[in-house]
Amino acid sequence: MGDPTSDEVLICVHGLTRRGRDFDYLATAMQDRRRVICVDLPGRGASDWLPVAADYQPGVYIQDMAALIARLNVKQVDWLVSRSVG
């Protein structure tokens, strides 16, 4: 959400059992100030399952986020990370 050319980027990452849509209200509220990216981690929300079960690990998630940032072509991002509450 927000201006796709903005250098002010907020990436929202959900907890283990959640999904990117959890941030809809926040993203809507902030879209006039920054670009808000709400990701679905692999196997969650609208994301496909990974073909190799062993790839569900933090290192793979970090690589995915690094690729996302590279694709956004910005110098800096802000993060909002939620955790699952059991």
Reported confidence tier of residue 35, pLDDT bands at 50, 70, 90: very high
Whole-prediction pTM: 0.86
Round the average pLDDT of the chain to a whole number and report it.
90
> What is the mean predicted confidence (pLDDT) over 29-40?
93
User: Per residue in 57-66, pLDDT tens?
Assistant: 989 999 999 9
Closest to 69 in 3D by CA, of 59, 79, 60: 79
Residue 70, helix vs strand vs coil? helix
Give me the phi and psi of 21, to 5 degrees please. Answer: -65, -15
Look at residue 7 and tell me whether its pLDDT is greater than 90. no
